Amino acid sequence: MLLATDRWRERLIVGFLFAVAFGLPWLMPSRALFVAETASVALFALSLDLVLGYAGIVSLGHAAFFGVGAYAAGLFAKLVMPDPLTGLAVGIAVAALMGLACSLTILRGSDLTRIMVTLALSLLLYELANRFDAITGGADGLQGMAMGPLLGRFEFDLQGQVPATYALAVLFLALLLVQWVVRSPLGATLLAVRDNPLRAAAVGIPVASRLAFAYAFGAALAGAAGALVAQTSGFVSLEVFSIERSADVLLMLVIGGAGWVYGGVLGAVAFKVLNELVAGITPQYWTFWMGLFLLAIGLLGRERVLRPWALWQRPSTKAVR
């Protein structure tokens, strides 16, 4: 995987899937907002994949950075200027700085302490956003942000075609960047830290700085996802910091498979599509079916749920990616 050189087939498949995704808002305009939202959430899942899948940092509070990005971009649009790309950059920068500062809390300790610390961080931010309602709008949410046109030309339409294209483009670039990084020599050292921090240090890899880098990078991408959601929906609520959001993104990553660049993105798409389908049939009880689906994945394994015919074949010796 690390030393593979031939990737044309992978590029072809990813290129094709993104071409379909970019076409969707224009072919099915009624689904454009759904595409925008899914792309933003997929970016969020990608960011967690980097943190959990590549650096091995278990986080149950990843929404902290998503929320910070969302509020930063929202407040920037409302108070400073409405340009979306500048707002996105602000969201990314604020979340990245926040991630770098908070990386101090995850350098030591076991998975359990990390779960606790990350969860605590998102709870703290939730209450802060609630308390300082003069700035954030508190429980009413941040309202009154007017988005300017993208690149000075393309207005955000209510139907969501421009927002969807914008979100997809950001997701695509982020995916390229993450892929670029995780396959580099630096990315290799991240895998080493994830697999065995004790040994990683013993071969000369500065473990703490690698963890801080991964955490800040993941936070930056989560901030970008939050900024996208704020900009494409024109609204930020306290919910961006909620435990549900952190838990959902973790589920998406579990569905798609952590430690694989496409895991988060595919998991997010599967999660959102399933959500949409089931909610269309039974709006009240969709979480029941979601739970059943997750149980099946947990007990049977992803491979056998997504490819049931494999159940009747001889057990695959290939590791589930």
The amino acid at 10: E
Structure tokens at 169: 């483009």
The amino acid at 120: A
Alpha helices in 205-259 (DSSP H): 207-233, 243-256
199 binds other proteins (CB under 8 A): yes
203 binds other proteins (CB under 8 A): yes
112 binds other proteins (CB under 8 A): no
Candidate segments 71-79, 88-96, 151-159, 199-207, binder of other proteins by CB under 8 A: 199-207
204 binds other proteins (CB under 8 A): yes
- In the complex, least distance from residue 118 CB atom to other proteins, rounded to whole angstroms: 23
Reading phi first (left if > 0) and then psi (alpha if -120 to 50, else beta), residue 237 is in: beta
Measure the CA–CA gap between 65 and 225, rounded to whole angstroms.
9
104 binds other proteins (CB under 8 A): no
What residues numbered 2-31 form the site for other proteins, per CB under 8 A?
2-5
The residue from 134, 198, 281, 299 that contacts other proteins (CB under 8 A) is: 198
- In the complex, least distance from residue 198 CB atom to other proteins, rounded to whole angstroms: 6
Helices and strands, number each (H, E), in the chain: 14, 0
Give the largest CA-CA distance in the chain.
62
Question: What's the chain's length in residues?
Answer: 321
Alpha carbon of residue 247 to chain centroid: 12
Query: Can you tell me whether residue 237 is helix, strand or coil?
Result: coil
CB nearer to other proteins: give 67 or 197: 197
- In the complex, least distance from residue 102 CB atom to other proteins, rounded to whole angstroms: 21
CB nearer to other proteins: give 76 or 213: 213
The residue from 52, 98, 150, 191 that contacts other proteins (CB under 8 A) is: 191
Alpha carbon of residue 303 to chain centroid: 22
- In the complex, least distance from residue 232 CB atom to other proteins, rounded to whole angstroms: 29
The residue from 61, 259, 263, 264 that contacts other proteins (CB under 8 A) is: 259
The residue from 40, 47, 103, 189 that contacts other proteins (CB under 8 A) is: 189
Residues 57 and 283 sit within 8 Å (Cβ to Cβ): no
315 binds other proteins (CB under 8 A): no
Sign of the Cα torsion 219, 183, 273, 244 reads negative
Measure the CA–CA gap between 78 and 146, rounded to whole angstroms.
7
Binding footprint of other proteins, residue count (CB under 8 A)? 30
Contacts to other proteins by CB under 8 A? 1-5, 180-181, 183-189, 191-192, 195-196, 198-207, 259, 319
